[in-house]
Structure 1
């Protein structure tokens, strides 16, 4: 029903993912599989909702209607059996800005904050910029599957550890942490008075046959010792709209977070487009989302078969979520700089390189599958040619 094969007219677009990279490199021939956006139009329900706002022609400070909250509450219950209330919901302009208020409000300067690498480089950047100590606990790779290394996590905890930032589903490899992992993490953090900040922004991008459990939905212990960040941004391709949700059953956590918003008046006004896009995404875009993930799954299978046939030494990891493929190119024996040159200069492809994502990322790349299959095929063919030319 939805045309994910459509290649958009880039002369009508201006994006960080494509146009910014073309400007940076001066190469109009680039194919871009880096930045975490999709090359698809958003769901028709969202487009219609935004067009309705434009047609009314009034763009003043918005008011959140009951339907806005009903959409969020209904989506989380419908998809994840996570039952929340309006009082548990706060906002930000996007996921990472909300980290600042959470970190500043619930930890002290000099505190240690644990997270698992490789992960988006902003995790470390935000922690250190807020004058806290970033502590990487690398994921371990067992039989081709990434796992939380609880021995390393336990060894990383000190009296200064006050927060654990969980990425679930995990960016870059699309791993969903199972309920046993989450329960063990909740118990460990509760025993050590460590608050869990759970980044669940990719929760709407679940592969067919997989399931996702929000950490806070596990138990009262989990709910009262965590604060969750979600958004329609990644799942419905509305990252430019700048609206996100901060959710916690612990009234103190929400109160402290809202108090932090007073530092820049972020609690007032917000984005009228963010409100309407969020409501439309969570209330009336399920069918689009389901078809999207069928297409992403098809893209991954296409990539897997292409690499198996043409570049069989590339390591491939089966994602459970997101629109990323996490690929291991260490067999080439290249330095990270040489790997960047192989992709960007020789193959004329932009990807996200693993070395910037922390320990365990060197020699890996994150390939964005949120694109028409014809573009994916062109990128893979360029990569194949570039690698063959190095032999």
Structure 2
């Protein structure tokens, strides 16, 4: 793994033309009927090239010319274990790791494997929309434990959480760090959540896909690292996809210390989805990212942090009627437009069709999302500037 002392300088300022590349973000933005001049700042992938070390690994794999079935290598497992230990102070065993094409795929497998139709599953809105879809599409019921905004920071409502748990509640879906509000949960918050899960015999699926994207002054604490009792009832999803901007390669890792749960999960993946192993490019990219991507990530975090500071400054100076909570992690900002007094439909028309800026509609994140939108600042600063200028012009 490279260290922060590596001298290679990475480029985050160059605008890369992603149009007509089958990009969901750029070519399939449906805001305002997909206007040609739409500036997409919605889907949570970044507009930076992946680390050169990752690109080189993929090119080496492509250059071989034979793309047969592949298996995860010892180097792949070693890179993940070393990365998590160094970055998150959690000692993993390689046998705990299972492949999944996506963390949400893993979440759906867990829901199908460890709950039954009609069971209740807890989500904490406003939250990434597939959390709701994963519950509903599998015939389970959503129990919402809505986050509360207090002193400019979103927090878990533990008292309300205790009230929504009943004898049909089986699973809690944790988003850590939280998308879209950007919270990096403190150890004491997670310990209180763990205590509730233990007392009520709940399993926890912890989506920690943004765990590497944490800013200075904050520390991501893997939920399962809180102790053996917690680890025994936790399934964790991580991935290099958000961290290194390789979501299209479909490489995620499901971490399950409990052998019984892990066996059931792996068998369900094979039985229901026919999933056995990753594609050859995903294996090469993930190993290179976790082994050699540290310096790139450190510089990316500095750049993203400066994008956040720049956005706050522009909001204060030019769009004071729009506010945002301080992201402690992720490259996403949760914008509050409530002071404008618009309905959500009016807000959509103003931002999407008036400003021609594609954001994520806050209502898609569930209760607590009204009069909000999610902004992706994982792009060159010039693009952030253009998006904010467009929004300022229509407000």
TM-score strictly above 0.5: yes
Are 1:186 and 1:221, in contact at CA under 8 Å, matched by a contact in 2?
A: no
Work out the CA distance in 1 between the residues paired with 2:324 and 2:202: 34
Q: Which residue of 2 aligns with 1:91?
A: 99
Q: CA deviation at 1:265?
A: 5.0
Work out the CA distance in 1 between the residues paired with 2:202 and 2:362: 28
1:110 aligns with 2:118: yes
Are 1:36 and 1:368, in contact at CA under 8 Å, matched by a contact in 2?
A: yes
Q: Structure 1-normalised TM-score? A: 0.97
Q: Secondary structure at the match of 1:341?
A: helix
Q: Which residue of 1 aligns with 2:259?
A: 251
Q: CA deviation at 1:12?
A: 6.0
Q: CA deviation at 1:209?
A: 2.7
Give the stretch that moved more between structures: 27-36 or 204-213. Answer: 204-213
Work out the CA distance in 2 between the residues paired with 1:244 and 1:11: 26
Equivalent residue pairs, number: 387
Are 1:216 and 1:228, in contact at CA under 8 Å, matched by a contact in 2?
A: yes
Work out the CA distance in 1 between the residues paired with 2:176 and 2:30: 31
Work out the CA distance in 2 between the residues paired with 1:351 and 1:325: 10
Task: Give the gaps of 5 or more residues in structure 2.
Answer: 1-8
Are 1:22 and 1:30, in contact at CA under 8 Å, matched by a contact in 2?
A: no
Q: 1:239 aligns with which of 233, 247, 251?
A: 247
After superposition, the C-alpha distances for 1:344-384 in whole angstroms (9 at most, x for unaligned) are: 10000000111110111100111000011001101111101
Q: CA deviation at 1:208?
A: 2.2
Q: CA deviation at 1:253?
A: 1.0
After superposition, the C-alpha distances for 1:24-81 in whole angstroms (9 at most, x for unaligned) are: 8242111110001100101111101100001111111102110000001000001011
After superposition, the C-alpha distances for 1:316-342 in whole angstroms (9 at most, x for unaligned) are: 211110001111000111111111111
Q: Which residue of 2 aligns with 1:74?
A: 82
1:1-391 pair list within 5 angstroms: 1-11=9-19, 13-21=21-29, 25-387=33-395
Give the stretch that moved more between structures: 152-161 or 205-214. Answer: 205-214
Q: Residues 265, 306 of structure 1: CA spacing in aligned structure 2 closer, same or farther, 3 A cutoff?
A: closer
Are 1:354 and 1:362, in contact at CA under 8 Å, matched by a contact in 2?
A: yes
Work out the CA distance in 2 between the residues paired with 1:83 and 1:70: 12
Task: Give the gaps of 5 or more residues in structure 1.
Answer: none
Are 2:99 and 2:277, in contact at CA under 8 Å, matched by a contact in 1?
A: no
Give the stretch that moved more between structures: 363-372 or 262-271. Answer: 262-271
After superposition, the C-alpha distances for 1:213-244 in whole angstroms (9 at most, x for unaligned) are: 10111111111111101111111101100121
Q: Secondary structure at the match of 2:328?
A: coil
Give the stretch that moved more between structures: 256-265 or 79-88. Answer: 256-265
Work out the CA distance in 1 between the residues paired with 2:366 and 2:64: 47
Q: Secondary structure at the match of 2:297?
A: helix
Q: Structure 2-normalised TM-score? A: 0.96
Q: CA deviation at 1:107?
A: 1.2
Q: CA deviation at 1:270?
A: 2.4
Name the Cα RMSD after superposition. Answer: 1.3
Give the stretch that moved more between structures: 312-321 or 64-73. Answer: 312-321
